[in-house]
Structure 1
């Protein structure tokens, strides 16, 4: 079985209508999996379902061979999930260093090696470590948010639109850092509007339409698929 196996997820928020319809996602150990699709396709909803933030009427979520379908998001963090939301993902009045320390709230061991790893991955985070996070640029804030999630020592890191609102140069840099994180053995599940660039670094890609799987393949194969390019990637 895959490291993450979210199978046949159907459900929505509260008592509202279903947004996901028989949606399935898998991620292997150390793999980068990317979810793309048109606006309103249920991409972020699928990720939130994996993290336990909405009710599933049907389906299951397994992580590292364990059924976690009925666990809360907090419990899933302790099982090895890290989640970086698109917005409101830092503590703006705390320093960068304090943000990283907050990410280690579930740990009782020494966190300095993890902080050093974040600094190594994100040199800008090291340079700004004593500044309030709210003073940073959008791209730097995203690096802090990812760094804070890494402080939980996740097995699976989930990123919701990590490059939203940043320049193309910053986007490329973030994607480079994401590749480096995956090389450490951490699995990545990412939702992205910059579909071409995201699929270019993806081991696996999912195209969602109206909350359901439309296409699933390697990132390279999806980029080469004429129908996918024409319908979802602008030709």
Structure 2
């Protein structure tokens, strides 16, 4: 079998002397949506940070398209085609929507107009508000700015940490619809999500973490149908 496009394999590490991840493995293919779920404190966001290089691993490695990138900084991983949207403080509030999006293209030396139009097509409300300060937007619109800015790097992998945190169910559904659209263009999506049931519904692959280790790994559909997963992690 060929290797997954992006894999954090047997990742062990944490903060200081304490390991939070214990031989945790997360992988995603091109155009696939992989979702990490689990109880609070399970190490979901830590796993994401480890894949993106924000956490030094004591064991295991991260490989992108067959290349070991474990020693690379987050900035170097962006240059390799990875984009990360943190849960909070993910926009420049005093800058306009369009300035935020332009900031996402800081590594590019080519014409960004085409990508800007693609982002506006994906998130029409951002085009309407492109000259407005991003800090004046609603929570859901801010998340669209954050995702749009990440897409301006033309990533091969888009990593989202709790993209629907604090937004209404209607906005959550809309964001998930846009995430599906992004995946259909061939971009790999790796996402941590508190709304486990809704996230697994759109997931090609799901990872249930408990105490920093893999407890269940399967397709989103199979995890939704698993009685133990439903009882323990999806509220019955």
Task: Tell me which interval the TM-score lies in, with the shorter structure as reference length.
Answer: over 0.9
In the TM superposition, what whole-angstrom CA distance separates every residue of 1:41-86 from its partner, at most 9, and x where no partner exists?
Answer: 0000000000000110000000111110000000000000000000
Structure 1 position 186 matched with structure 2 position 187: yes
Paired with 1:116 and 1:16, the residues of 2 have a C-alpha distance of: 46
Paired with 1:148 and 1:140, the residues of 2 have a C-alpha distance of: 12
Which residue in the other structure is 2:12 paired with?
10
Structure 1 position 121 matched with structure 2 position 125: no
List aligned pairs for 1:99-110, cutoff 5 A: 99-110=100-111
List structure 1 segments (4+ residues) > 4 angstroms apart after TM superposition: none
Alignment RMSD, CA only? 0.5
Which residue in the other structure is 2:36 paired with?
35
In the TM superposition, what whole-angstrom CA distance separates every residue of 1:3-38 from its partner, at most 9, and x where no partner exists?
Answer: 00110000012x230000000011011100000000
In the TM superposition, what whole-angstrom CA distance separates every residue of 1:103-153 from its partner, at most 9, and x where no partner exists?
Answer: 000000000000000000001111111100000000000000000000011
The unaligned stretches of length 5 or more in structure 1 are none
Paired with 2:164 and 2:208, the residues of 1 have a C-alpha distance of: 18
Which residue in the other structure is 1:223 paired with?
224
Which residue in the other structure is 2:52 paired with?
51
Paired with 1:16 and 1:95, the residues of 2 have a C-alpha distance of: 42
More divergent stretch after superposition (118-127 vs 199-208):
118-127
Secondary structure, in 3 states, of the residue corresponding to 1:190? strand
Which residue in the other structure is 2:163 paired with?
162
The unaligned stretches of length 5 or more in structure 2 are none
Paired with 2:82 and 2:178, the residues of 1 have a C-alpha distance of: 19
Which residue in the other structure is 2:89 paired with?
88
Paired with 1:54 and 1:12, the residues of 2 have a C-alpha distance of: 7
The count of residues paired between Structure 1 and Structure 2 equals 234
Structure 1 position 135 matched with structure 2 position 139: no
Paired with 2:90 and 2:65, the residues of 1 have a C-alpha distance of: 26
Which residue in the other structure is 1:173 paired with?
174
Paired with 1:164 and 1:224, the residues of 2 have a C-alpha distance of: 25
Paired with 2:50 and 2:77, the residues of 1 have a C-alpha distance of: 12
Paired with 2:174 and 2:123, the residues of 1 have a C-alpha distance of: 10
